[in-house]
Amino acid sequence: MAMSNRNCYRYRPRLGNGQMAPMPWPVALYRYLNHISWPLEDGVSRRYIYMEWFLIFCGFLVFCEHNEVDFHYLIANRHDLDKMLTGMPTYLILVEMQIRCFQLALRKNRFKLLLQRFYREIYITQESEPILYARIQRQMLGTRLNSIVYLMALFNFLVIPIQNVIYHRREMLYKQVYPFDNTQLRYYIPLICLNFWVGVIITSMLFGELNILGELMMHLNARYIQLGQDLRKVAQHLLNEHNVDDMAYSYRQAFTRILRRNVSLNQFGAQVEEQFSFRIFVMFAFSAALLCAMSFKAYTNPSGNVAYVVWFMAKFLELVAFGMLGSILYKTTDELGLMYYLCDWELIVHQSRNAGENVQLMKLLTMAIEVNSRPFFLTGLKYFRVTLAAVIKILQGAFSYFTFLTSMR
């Protein structure tokens, strides 16, 4: 009951009409499990806010403790490449998630404002646009699959406590070296519970933020597609009416409204970029080294390193799914200028008798093409674009490091 009450204080997105927004299961799980990253509901008491920040501070200390003992394992085994690489993946993921989670914890309110605007203005419901909604769900299949694989990776680490019971051992979930005897039961039980808590926070952050980003990008992409559809519908409606005197004026008015929507979508995209750019940079910066270390462990002993095999698959799918979504959005926004050019404006001008309105319409068309001369894409601190091309470069870098390590083995 206490857990349920605490979860009620987590922000639950609402649509523009005030109804609760439907949340895909990875996002719902992210909201439920990750108190560090997910914002609080509006109107919570100041006492609960203070308690929330206290828990976040305690979580930061737990991450720092794990960072320390994970790093001690690497130092203790620095002369043994195989053992050092056994602990390297979990250490790199820990550092990456510590940066990403607590950077987001400091920006929770901005994140909540972004979600509020998204579900109020951008989100496409199944009832309003069933075809576009179905297309979004197909595009998001990769992120859903990635969420399942990440959960499988977490469950693989839970095999260790079972093995501890069977073989009467007291190993931790991750490769760690403590400055005291952590096998004593009074230390071991709370420490392995903290191991599990850190694993839950990391895993929920990995698939949760990917699914949030995917939802933002694909619904934004669908809104851009709607612009062209709506403009063509207006043109066909006016052409069927044959009102040649007011045709260009009516079309220009509709064109102006759609262009304003276009600008609003561009502003929302800039807000998404501002919110996620740093964390995307951190994710991509760690990805090559992570893939290299995990592929090396999977290659040298696949049967004994099942957790690393599954984790490698999850990381690989995460990058590919994210790159595909970024490429879809890039392609759509890159073709916006062409979309405006092919929206049947020439038929309106041809049939209209108002020469002045025709000139104004063509000027507005030119401005629309100029506004969309640069496609929208997410970046990592402006260093790279989130597309499949960037993902391929990361995979190539990881393969180069992998071949270097295998040659040293």
For the chain (409 residues), the mean pLDDT of every run of 10, in chain order, is 57 90 94 93 90 94 95 91 86 94 93 95 93 95 94 84 82 90 91 93 94 96 94 89 84 92 94 94 91 80 74 91 95 91 86 87 90 89 90 88 75
Nearest C-alpha neighbor of 238 from the set 338, 341, 347: 347
Domain assignment present for 74: yes
Domain assignment present for 122: no
Domain assignment present for 125: no
Domain assignment present for 14: yes
Which residues, in sequence order, are CB contacts of 190 under 8 Å at separation 6+? none
pLDDT value at residue 2:
42
- Are 188 and 170 within 8 A, CB to CB? yes
Integer Cα distance of 142 and 373 in angstroms: 30
The one-letter code for the residue type at 91 is Y
Domain assignment present for 124: no
Find the domain containing 362 and state its range. 2-117+130-408
Q: Is the pTM of this model over 0.85?
A: yes
Domain assignment present for 123: no
**How many domains in the chain?**
1
Domain assignment present for 48: yes
Tokens of 321: 């799914």
User: Which residues share a beta bridge with 20?
Assistant: 14
Integer Cα distance of 340 and 115 in angstroms: 29
pLDDT value at residue 9:
84
Domain assignment present for 46: yes
Task: Name the residue with tokens 């933020």.
Answer: 209
Nearest C-alpha neighbor of 378 from the set 235, 212, 254: 212
Integer Cα distance of 235 and 232 in angstroms: 5
Q: At what angle do helices 185-241 and 247-300 cross, to 10 degrees?
A: 150
Q: Which long-range contacts (CB under 8 A, 24 or more apart) does 259-265 make?
A: 259/364, 259/367, 259/368, 259/371, 261/223, 261/227, 262/224, 262/227, 262/336, 262/368, 262/371, 262/372, 263/371, 264/121, 265/122, 265/220, 265/223, 265/224, 265/227
